[in-house]
Structure 1
Amino acid sequence: MQLLIVDDEAHVVDRLATTIGWDRIGITQVYRAYSGYEALELLRQMAVDIVITDIQMPGMTGLDLIARIRRDWSKTKCVLLSGYSDFQYAKEAIQNQVEDYLLKPVKEQELLDTVSRLQEKLYGEWEHVLSVRNLTRTLSENLPLLKGNLLLELLQGAVWNEEALQEKMATLALPDLYGQSCFLMLVRLEDTFVDYDFRSRSLIEYAIGNMAEELFGGKFRLWHAKDAHDYLIFLASADERIEPGQRAGLFEQTASQLQAAVKSFLKGSISVVVSEPGLFPGDVPDRYDGCVSAARKRVGNEQGLFLRASGEAAAVEVESIRCLYEPPTLLHLLEAGRWDAMEEKLERVFDELKSKSSHPHSQEHLLEVYFAVSSAFSYISHKNGQPLSDLIGEDYGKLADGIPFRSVAHLREWSLRVLRRLMEDMDREMKDSRSELIRAIHQFIDDNLAQDVTLQSIADHVHMHPVYISKIYKLETGCNISDYIQQLRMEKAVYLLANSQEKTYEIAAKVGYQRPHSFNYAFKKHHGVTPQMYRDQQKKGAICP
């Protein structure tokens, strides 16, 4: 969890942030703000769980800050820390749902106990949010969208493990259709509806879905979605009580009734394309492609037609390499950096390509894959700001010359080799950029140790989000930035105490403490003795520098 300490007295903030063992109770990050306005800016950028704030601050009081937090970050817990024990403040604090009211000077254990209690309260609240009952209700509310997204994946040919797909369909309250005969119906809204605004068109689409459920209900189970072409797609499975030989005719008859009902009651026309039956899920992509192809070739610009997509696939002389276009696409996998999944997809593409090697147009299939793969590689390389030629070296010659590969084996070997080079280069670039980021952070801290070095000031210097640099720093070094700052301050303080004649208050200022008291407290917390005692022991030879 993450904590924010707010006080206009910088030494109070610094002491509480750096000298208390927050990590012992699971606080992973402590942020600091020296005004209510600065606190609000941090809250807009960070996921802060608990805020400890002073009351009396210029410009925006702690009570004002808490009121804003209650409004904009209702999950964040707030604690007031003040030297004022006035009842009026406590009364206002209660009204603003403050979790606790602590008086300065607060003891470390009291503060840790308060924050621990709030952590337990937060965990309890999130357990309630994530309870089975709440999640079930949320799932129920989003079922139509989730069902539609799954159907779109199947229409586009997404490959699913049978058990996983059955489990997901059961979770979404969909019937088990594996191996069952299904039909597809494509509905295209015509000109009457095209000019509607978004809200009106959405209502019409919703109304058509309801009409379809009403007309097909009792005879067919419907599952529908809206595809990328703005077609409404309905997958229908017949009730087991209907004789198999009657299902196709009944499906077309009911689809025709839907078309007529839309004309009569919604005062507009739709074109309807119905498919021949096919087995779920394997035949679904082909039936969908057949319907879309029929809408494109046989409906065209005509309005209000009704037809059956029959023999569309048979009329196609050259089929595409279907696996190449199944989601997730090559581009999506490369953009997400899913290298293993990308390699698996390429293997499936080449397996399908090999299965078509005896096809009269096998060379065109080879070109299709070649252009798709090389285009994806070029895209991701250019998106990362690098010429592909620099990444793949001599392999770029084959692209520049436009010479297609003559065999599936050669294209496969080339594609996988280029993929590995892309992966190695991006991994190397990521590691280099992270190393450079750590160096820049360390340099900034070293140069500004005497100043108020905060996570926000570091983030501003490297032009990155504070959350990002905080997480990357922890991943790369194993510690928090605040730990490094504190360690560096203590090391520099030890060196100056042992090797200079400067006063302790001068050393305190040099290592970033505005008040000697805070420096003394932090030094004793870290070394077990005060700075002056350390220096005295050095002179006596009791401690080696």
Structure 2
Amino acid sequence: MAQLLIVDDEAHVVDRLAGTVDWKSIGIDQVYKAYSGYEALEQLHQFSIDIVITDIRMPGMSGLQLIAEINRQWPKTKSILLSGYSEFNYAKQAMQFQTEDYLLKPVKTADLLATVSRVLRKLEREWEEVISVQRISYTLKEHMPLLRANLLHELLQGKLWNRTVLREKMARLELGKEPWQSFSLMTVRMDDHLEGLSGAEEDLSWKEFAVANMAEELFGGRYALWHAKDSHDYLIFLLTLKQDAEGEDPGWLERTASVLQSAAHVYLKGKVSIMVSGTGAFPEDVPGIYNRSITAYRNRIGDEPEQFMRLEDEESETTAVQTLACLYEPPALIHLLEAARWEAVEERYKRIFEGVESGETTSEEQLLEIYLTIASAYAFIAHKNGRLLADTLGADYSRMTSALPIRTMHHLREWAFRTLKLLREDMAKETKDNRHSLIERIRRFIDENATRDLSLQLVADQVKLHPVYVSKVYKLETGENISDYIQRVKMEEAQSLLKHSDEKVYEIAARLGYQRPHSFISAFKKTFGMTPQEYRDGHLS
């Protein structure tokens, strides 16, 4: 359902249109009201407004100025002008500002509903075009290689996917034609500059593109390929045997990989090293085989160029030292803390400790590795927020300064969850304090500048924050809009001036930033139920 905003400095016009017109009959679910251009901008910052109906002549910000700002900040929002001024130049200006229509007061309800309904249908057609299957399919195909590579990169880094969700994602990326129940992994390392490419083509991406095309040509008849570049600048290929391929021949994969290495040497005038793995289960074995391949490059190949190697199954045999893969899987612990994803951090802790405690032995180095990783993440977050870790953790920080403060996995688990709770509470308190301080600064500025033509943008500039953030935080903390508070302060100032000064009503209106006395009188009556003069007469001694 759509949302509508009605803007007019004449409160009775806004209230009548908002309250008496059957907007739901044409698909308008929510109607918002604003009594000035500035208040309208505040509403636009807070809510997703589809259509704005605005008067032209308003104090402070005219309807045309409002529409210009809407076009700049919310280009999808449609505008309709409503005015009692029928001069042609206004209509001409309205067309320049790309308004959808120009209606004259007093407007008939049927005409207003017909106009808004037409604009709403136009908006729906525009969004239907944006989300059309044809357009999305075109965009998806255009970015398919990048999207495939991103998904593979996440698998290589050990991101856990629900199997059904992963299959659906692969199908959308046209990777679901084969069952992908098993796979082999091939790692290609560029060992030197490929001299066959020149000029702009010497860019690394061209080299990778050429090798990837060669691999597709050589392996594509028998295997489905899926490749990405990893953080080490290696080309990583996952290969799964096609359903219509002839019986398995383990030696074929290695022989063809050797052909790829030779082809790169002959036709690209360059050297590449290649490592081919055995078969693993998809997707659970992907990160393990990938990490073993990278380790084998470091331990077995080193810097020697143009090497070819099979990743032996023996590499997977357990050793005395086991890596804590879940401690480093993406998103990293630091990133989870930085995003304040507290539940995700707790879940990560549970998996880390369950994984370690399910093993046969727990080494002191594993304790130290977990402890240092968590402690360094805490320090990073605290310092990034301008805080001292000692202030946040208290006694637990003192324990951290000893050489090895925790000697058992049980104590480490308790420490991790306890300190996480302390960090979370400290950050929540700081956020609350910061917001409370911000509200005080906003109100102090408004109180001290009640006679100015105040706006959300002016307030936001004063506190040096974005108006959208200022508006939402103020509403969240106080339950009212900034415009409500500005109006209340102005009305309180008006009360004081009416009681204790001899200024005329129009002078008080000008002092409070109202360009037209009528607007001031209307606002005052809406607030207190009487005109300024009636209020003054009632308080004469």
TM-score exceeds 0.5: yes
CA distance in 1 between partners of 2:128 and 2:38 (Å): 30
Give the Å deviation of 1:143. 2.8
Partner of 1:162: 163
Aligned mate of 2:31, from 15, 26, 34: 26
Q: 1:264 to 1:70 in 2, by over 3 A?
A: farther
CA distance in 1 between partners of 2:97 and 2:337 (Å): 49
CA distance in 1 between partners of 2:471 and 2:33 (Å): 10
Contact in 1 for aligned 2:5/2:34 (Cα 8 Å): yes
CA distance in 2 between partners of 1:352 and 1:176 (Å): 35
- Percent of aligned pairs with the same residue? 48
CA distance in 1 between partners of 2:457 and 2:73 (Å): 21
Q: 1:476 to 1:133 in 2, by over 3 A?
A: farther
Q: 1:256 to 1:393 in 2, by over 3 A?
A: same
Give the Å deviation of 1:178. 7.1
Q: 1:196 to 1:368 in 2, by over 3 A?
A: farther
Residues 320-331 of structure 1 aligned to structure 2 (within 5 Å): 320-331=323-334
Residues 31-430 of structure 1 aligned to structure 2 (within 5 Å): 32=37, 75-78=76-79, 90=91, 94=95, 97-101=98-102, 118=119, 121-175=122-176, 180-193=181-194, 200-242=203-245, 245-246=248-249, 248-310=250-312, 311-314=314-317, 317-358=320-361, 362-430=363-431
Contact in 2 for aligned 1:166/1:176 (Cα 8 Å): no
Give the Å deviation of 1:308. 1.2
Name the SS for the 2:284 alignment partner. coil
Residues 502-541 of structure 1 aligned to structure 2 (within 5 Å): 502-536=503-537
Q: 1:509 to 1:74 in 2, by over 3 A?
A: closer
State the one-letter code of the partner of 2:289: R
State the one-letter code of the partner of 1:266: L
CA distance in 2 between partners of 1:300 and 1:537 (Å): 93
Q: 1:112 to 1:505 in 2, by over 3 A?
A: farther
Contact in 2 for aligned 1:3/1:30 (Cα 8 Å): no
Give the Å deviation of 1:423. 0.3
Name the SS for the 1:125 alignment partner. helix
Q: Deviations over 1:514-539 (max 9, x none)?
A: 33222123233444543223444666
Contact in 1 for aligned 2:11/2:522 (Cα 8 Å): no
Could you tell me the TM-score, scaled by structure 1's length?
0.81
Q: Deviations over 1:366-420 (max 9, x none)?
A: 1111111111111111111111111001111221112242211100000100000
CA distance in 1 between partners of 2:157 and 2:225 (Å): 18
State the one-letter code of the partner of 1:227: D
Contact in 1 for aligned 2:55/2:82 (Cα 8 Å): yes
CA distance in 1 between partners of 2:399 and 2:515 (Å): 65
**More deviation, 15-24/248-257:** 15-24
State the one-letter code of the partner of 2:354: D
Q: 1:116 to 1:428 in 2, by over 3 A?
A: farther
CA distance in 2 between partners of 1:46 and 1:264 (Å): 62
State the one-letter code of the partner of 1:321: L
Q: 1:352 to 1:418 in 2, by over 3 A?
A: same
State the one-letter code of the partner of 1:448: N
Contact in 1 for aligned 2:450/2:493 (Cα 8 Å): no
Q: 1:32 to 1:95 in 2, by over 3 A?
A: closer
Partner of 1:543: none
Name the SS for the 1:423 alignment partner. helix
| Number of residue pairs matched by the alignment | 519
**More deviation, 78-87/258-267:** 78-87
CA distance in 2 between partners of 1:159 and 1:262 (Å): 35
Give the Å deviation of 1:216. 1.4
**More deviation, 375-384/87-96:** 87-96
Q: 1:372 to 1:484 in 2, by over 3 A?
A: same
Q: Deviations over 1:43-91 (max 9, x none)?
A: 9999997786969xxxxx969x96x987997535455678875657756
Partner of 2:27: none
Contact in 1 for aligned 2:273/2:305 (Cα 8 Å): yes
| RMSD (CA atoms) | 4.2
Name the SS for the 2:188 alignment partner. strand
State the one-letter code of the partner of 1:372: T
State the one-letter code of the partner of 1:518: S
Give the Å deviation of 1:441. 1.2
Q: Deviations over 1:327-352 (max 9, x none)?
A: 11111100110000000101101111
Contact in 1 for aligned 2:6/2:14 (Cα 8 Å): no
Q: Deviations over 1:300-353 (max 9, x none)?
A: 222222211223344865231011011111111001100000001011011112
**More deviation, 157-166/341-350:** 157-166
> Which residues of structure 1 form unaligned runs of 5+?
6-12, 56-60, 541-545
CA distance in 2 between partners of 1:73 and 1:199 (Å): 43
> Which residues of structure 2 form unaligned runs of 5+?
20-29, 58-62
CA distance in 2 between partners of 1:495 and 1:44 (Å): 32
**More deviation, 254-263/384-393:** 254-263
Contact in 2 for aligned 1:370/1:404 (Cα 8 Å): no
Could you tell me the TM-score, scaled by structure 2's length?
0.82
Q: 1:413 to 1:177 in 2, by over 3 A?
A: farther
**More deviation, 82-91/178-187:** 82-91
State the one-letter code of the partner of 1:517: H
State the one-letter code of the partner of 2:239: A
Q: 1:526 to 1:123 in 2, by over 3 A?
A: farther
**More deviation, 454-463/206-215:** 206-215
State the one-letter code of the partner of 2:458: S
**More deviation, 212-221/176-185:** 176-185
Contact in 1 for aligned 2:261/2:274 (Cα 8 Å): yes
